[in-house]
Structure 1
Amino acid sequence: MKELVPYNELVGQIGHLLKSGREQAGRAINTILVQTYWLIGKHIVEFEQGGKLKAEYGTELLDRLSKDLTLSFGKGFSQSNLFQIRQLYIRFPKVQTLSGQLSWSHYVELLKADNQLEISFYTKQCEKENWSVRELKRQMKSMLFHRLALSKDKDGVLKIAEQGAEVEKAEDIVKDPYVFEFLGIPQQYHYKEGELEEKLIQNLEQFLLDLGKGFAFIGRQYKISLANRHFYVDLVFYHRILKCFVLIDLKRGEIEHNDIGQMNLYLNYFAKEENVEGDNPPIGIVLGGYKDHILVEYATENISNQLFVSKYQLYLPDKAQLSAELERLLDDDTRPLP
């Protein structure tokens, strides 16, 4: 029996090596596949630009190529796939910009973006946060880039497109609106605040992904006792990058000025009673279904704490509306890609 422990360790070590080796082999194969597709796209585009066939009539070429390549090499060369391969070269004209971390399936989703800023942003975020294809699709549908971009000025938009979303200060973790379509709550359903909180806890993994990188869940209905009175913070997180508590209070309807005052009380309490050496000042986010910008402006004026007010919605945002708002912000500098 004594020999079983070392043997089990040996099996575990071999298993770990095999798993690691297969993962590395898979990444290497994927990198080669993406680079090969990029080269195929390059040849197609150069053939078109050589005068043999104009790019706008490329469907005829792709149809012919699809038939001949399928006959010679089998599946994987449908007309739609060849179109995506061609687009890969057009939207990533430098092979050095291709990521070895992303699969061809990632690139298929990235190529659905409307402009180069979006493509660059989502590529960087996939690398930084190790998004699966499923998570990439979800973030693109929820218009994450637009939601982050519309809270910034033009230079800020260009920065997140080039570098991805950097987390350096409190403002970097706040979105407006937050999108909770993954909860499956009907838009017209008259839910209570407690139901919304319960749903978020039940879908904590998705909620953490929507909040972004660095959030660690601490607890719900976090009790605060002051002068023989008890208060409860709906959701408490700790942000390991910013090294601070993040408090979230949920409001079903419109956010009122007293909601903001209550969050300010929570922040003062955490700064004095919960913070330990090395912790930075806490961040508070009041999340509601609606907010009046004038009321929020007056209610938050002269508050020294890091307190933010955002909306949430239970459905995916209107892409056309957000795209129009972003285009106005960029002053038409960014044109749709071919």
Structure 2
Amino acid sequence: MEINNQNLYNKVIELLTQARQKVAQTINNTMAMAYFEIGKMIVEEEQKGKEKAEYGKQILSELSKKLVTEFGKGFSKRNLEQMRQFYLTYSIAQTVSAQFKLTWSHYLKLIRITDANERNFYEIEAIKNNWSLRELQRQYDSALYTRLALSKNKEEILSLGQQGQTIENNKDLIKDPYILEFLGLPEQSFYSESDLEQKLIDKLEHFLLELGNGFTFAARQKRITFEERHFKIDLVFYNRILKCFVLIDLKIGELKHQDIGQMQMYVNYFDREVKLGDENKTIGIILCQDKSESVVRYTLPENNEQIFASKYLTVLPSEKDFIKIIEN
């Protein structure tokens, strides 16, 4: 008679998976630390030379030849130069890397970020959110740090590099613009709001990453009814950090004041009919292709903390376009 040991099997699989992950993490940490120490040794040896530039080149060439013979291609002159840069970058301003927690590939990307505050931010977020190298690259390419910094003062920007993204109030959740290049929709193309919504659902994991920390998906085309009238909210999320619902309405084209009024109605309904007593007030985000800041400002009350309008871009902006965003 065959005994069903599925529960035991599942537990063993989970244990082995966790063990493999820990082994991989230990290897990554050990190798990153080893490369840091190699970089340190190279720099200290270079400092003994009278002609630093030429002496340094000679050291790297000779060391590379010996290490490649012994350990393989991973110790080319170029790789040794990167280890040297790794040490120089992280010995000047130690951050969370007292024990390196990312892979060597992650750090190769990070050392190319010249601004220390920005580099620290991406390192902290990569560790905190367990970003793969691809996810780190995507967040950097979409200028996550810059977008979060746009609405912050100097002290808050400094905090980004010390703590990463912290969510203490509703405005901390909002980005402007949101970058939705993962949808594969071309810029200025003809697509409907339902097309955009379907793409977001198809790429929900990517969209959650773009939204930020603490989001869980709750509903799509959420129907609300009162006085025999029916309305549908495009997307409903819940944020575990702020303990509140987050409603998202998708708009093609320019934002109108009626769109803001409609979102205000949705938010009021959720606050009065859906949220529990221990939950915080609902947040509404209108994602639009274009908006007038004046329309947003004069439609919403001065003390508004619940309704936000953000532009979305379906392609990664160029450096020139990001400069325009910052200047505006």
Quick check: 1:49–1:55 contact (8 Å CA) kept in 2?
no
Quick check: 2:170–2:305 contact (8 Å CA) kept in 1?
no
Higher relative contact order (CA 8 A, sep 6+): 1
Quick check: 2:33–2:100 contact (8 Å CA) kept in 1?
no
Q: Deviations over 1:37-66 (max 9, x none)?
A: 000111122233334443598555434432
SS in 1 for 2:216: strand
- Within 5 A, what are the aligned runs for 1:1-338? 1=1, 4-5=3-4, 12-54=10-52, 58=56, 61-93=59-91, 94=94, 97-302=97-302, 304=304, 306-320=306-320, 322=322
Task: Indicate the percent of aligned positions where both proteins have the same amino acid.
Answer: 46
Quick check: 1:264–1:305 contact (8 Å CA) kept in 2?
no
Do the aligned partners of residues 99 and 119 (structure 1) sit closer, same or farther apart at CA in structure 2, a change above 3 Å counting? farther
Quick check: 2:193–2:250 contact (8 Å CA) kept in 1?
yes
Letter in 2 for 1:120: N
Offset at residue 289 of structure 1 (A): 0.7
Letter in 2 for 1:144: L
Offset at residue 68 of structure 1 (A): 2.9
Q: What TM-score, normalized by structure 2, do the two folds share?
A: 0.91
Inter-partner Cα distance in structure 1 for 2:87 and 2:9? 44
Q: What TM-score, normalized by structure 1, do the two folds share?
A: 0.88
Tell me the residue number matched to 1:335. none
Do the aligned partners of residues 53 and 230 (structure 1) sit closer, same or farther apart at CA in structure 2, a change above 3 Å counting? farther
SS in 1 for 2:279: coil
Offset at residue 229 of structure 1 (A): 1.7
Inter-partner Cα distance in structure 1 for 2:54 and 2:295? 52
Inter-partner Cα distance in structure 1 for 2:29 and 2:76? 21
Quick check: 1:197–1:234 contact (8 Å CA) kept in 2?
yes
Letter in 2 for 1:23: Q
User: What residue ranges of structure 1 are gaps of 5+ in the alignment?
Assistant: 330-338
- CA RMSD for the aligned pairs? 2.5
Do the aligned partners of residues 217 and 18 (structure 1) sit closer, same or farther apart at CA in structure 2, a change above 3 Å counting? closer
Offset at residue 193 of structure 1 (A): 1.2
Inter-partner Cα distance in structure 2 for 1:95 and 1:168? 23
Offset at residue 186 of structure 1 (A): 1.4
SS in 2 for 1:50: coil
Offset at residue 111 of structure 1 (A): 1.9
